Amino acid sequence: VSGRGFEPAEISGAGKVALIGQSAAKQLFGDADPVDQQVRIRKVPFTIVGVLDKKGQSMMGQDQDDVILVPLTTARNRLFGNPQGKLRRVGVISVKVRDGLSMKDAEDGIRELMRQRHKLQPGADDDFTIRNLTEILQAQEASSKILTLLLAAVASVSLLVGGIGIMNIMLVSVTERTREIGLRMAVGARAGDIHKQFLVEAVTLSLIGGLLGIALGLGGSLAIGEFAGWRTSLSPESVVLAVGFAAAIGIFFGFYPARKASRLSPIEALRYE
């Protein structure tokens, strides 16, 4: 976003320079420009030379912008070693496979190289671990599918319970308004008019419940996101889908009460007390 990357001389000379992510920059410097500012890592002063592009959260839910990067030579000599730089270690190496190349071949090549560098004998177990992000992603997708099915089952039960509640309310309304229905029929209302009236009422009741649910869900998501520091977004397609489901539930579960109301006999309805 701003500043520059590492210079070759800084990498070869283990320069005390750093690149900072946007989340870390905001936490340390607020709205001020972090370039040319000083930070201390393990009591070693570093000069920030650039700010990284925003990446957001990783697949594991980690904030990829809450980082500070230093040259590998600097980390090995100044951070993870003694003053003489005798102790050197690298905990993680990230590798990106070029487009068109086989992931399996890349893994085999990396494993062979690491075994050579670690001087492992044939048949000896690896003293390192190679993780394929594709496999991790597939495992996450499988977990997401299971979670989606579970949420769908819970949502289905909720919709069923809500629909039954709407039907019961409308049946009670039909019973309490029997004389009103009879009076409307007596002055010329047709069965279709009565059916349409109660069906519209059921859909309206369902839509009100759906909109309240959307508002509460959005409010809860924003509150949790604010508390946990997560980014919250609202999908218009999800809102439209939720409203559509609410209307469908109102039509489905309101059909029987509306049909019952439209089939009342005007004479019997007027006699009802």
According to the model, what pLDDT value does residue 119 have?
Answer: 87
The list of the chain residues with pLDDT below 70 reads: 1, 58-61, 81-90, 229, 273
CA distance 227 to 199: 42
According to the model, what pLDDT value does residue 90 have?
Answer: 67
According to the model, what pLDDT value does residue 268 have?
Answer: 83
pTM of the model: 0.55
Query: In this structure, are residues 42 and 79 in contact, taking their beta carbons and an 8 Å threshold?
Result: yes
Query: In this structure, are residues 57 and 64 in contact, taking their beta carbons and an 8 Å threshold?
Result: yes
According to the model, what pLDDT value does residue 86 have?
Answer: 52
According to the model, what pLDDT value does residue 60 have?
Answer: 63
CA distance 74 to 70: 7
CA distance 184 to 201: 16
* Tens-place pLDDT, residues 33-72: 999 999 999 889 999 999 998 887 766 667 788 899 999 8
Burial 146-161 (b: 16+ CB within 10 A, else e): eeeeeeeeeeeeebee
User: Of 36, 42, 44, 43, whose CA–CA distance to 19 is shortest?
Assistant: 36
According to the model, what pLDDT value does residue 62 have?
Answer: 74
Where along the chain do its domains lie? 2-91, 94-131, 134-271
CA distance 253 to 171: 10
From the CB of residue 1, how many other CB atoms can be counted at a distance below 10 Å?
Answer: 11
Report phi then psi at 41, rounded to 5.
Answer: -120, 115
* Tens-place pLDDT, residues 142-171: 888 999 999 889 989 988 999 999 999 999
